[in-house]
Amino acid sequence: MAKNRDNSIILLVDPPEADRISSELKTAFGPERAAHVNSDLLAAAYKLAKGFSEAILIISYAKSLRHPDLTWLDPEDPGFLEVKRHNFEERLQDAVKLAFFTGAKKAVLMNHLSPELKSEWIYQAFDSVNDKTVAIGANTDGTYYLVGLTQPNLKIFEAPGFSHGKSAETLAERARRNKLNVVNTPETYSVTGEDSLLKWMESKETLPPIFQEQRAQPQAEAPAQEQKKHHRRQKHAETGELPQTDKPQS
């Protein structure tokens, strides 16, 4: 299915290097492990965004000498918007403005630290937003994992400080002050420590339904096999014949 150029998904990406990872992740996991965790989360978010058929993907990438392109994330190298202002909030504003400048009518910003984000929630955000409505997806810690808006609603990003602390609540309050409606997508969590990382890893290891059915099948066949054995024993008892065994005769 062709991409819908009226919709744009925005993903901010940093190279897989310890000095480019957020201090929160480094505090939780240590520099090297934080880089690996962050890369896994980015890969999952990128896969979701790339596979979303109803939007164009814009990647804001702060490239480095060691990683000048995105081949570490995708061998096909999807291309990116090169970061000019490294302050996170200014960088986000540049990416959203570019999305609207290139023709998008709606934009959804994704946060890769929330691995349970679903495509259904992105659809919900695009369906909900208009010039009087923004969409905000909140994590359990009060941060946002998704923000959907149209160009006139960029004003919720104008003042600094919207990305710190309980950012979902901050943006929702700004929207209401500007007389905008707020649609909330389902609450989820972000990976910020060992507990949330374990929760994500356990969810990744869950077997799909097809494997669960295959695993249950031998148990379902057991009663039928036992019934056949019972039928054979009953037949032997009626005829007086000894049952055959698989043991070799001496």
Residues 36 and 131 in one domain: yes
Residue 192 counted as domain residue: yes
Mean pLDDT of 38-54: 95
Residues 199 and 230 in one domain: no
Q: Can you tell me the distance from the alpha carbon of 118 to that of 179, in angstroms, rounded to the nearest whole number?
A: 28
pLDDT of residue 203: 85
User: Could you report the per-residue pLDDT of 101-134, keeping only the tens digit for each?
Assistant: 999 999 999 999 999 999 999 999 999 999 999 9
Residues 196 and 211 in one domain: no
Residue 222 counted as domain residue: yes
- Portion of the chain with pLDDT greater than 90, in percent: 67
Does the pLDDT value for residue 223 go beyond 60?
A: no
Residue 250 counted as domain residue: no
Structural domain count, the chain = 2
pLDDT of residue 132: 97
Q: Can you tell me the distance from the alpha carbon of 100 to that of 83, in angstroms, rounded to the nearest whole number?
A: 17
Q: What is the pTM of this model?
A: 0.78
pLDDT of residue 247: 43
User: Could you report the per-residue pLDDT of 165-199, keeping only the tens digit for each?
Assistant: 899 999 999 999 999 999 999 999 999 999 999 99
Residues 118 and 230 in one domain: no
Residues 51 and 104 in one domain: yes
Residues 96 and 192 in one domain: yes
pLDDT of residue 250: 40
Mean pLDDT of 134-142: 97
The two tokens of residue 154 are 């960029």
DSSP state for residue 135 in the 8-state scheme: E
Please provide the size of the chain in residues: 250
* Burial label, 206 (beta-carbon count in 10 A; 0-12, 13-18, 19+): exposed
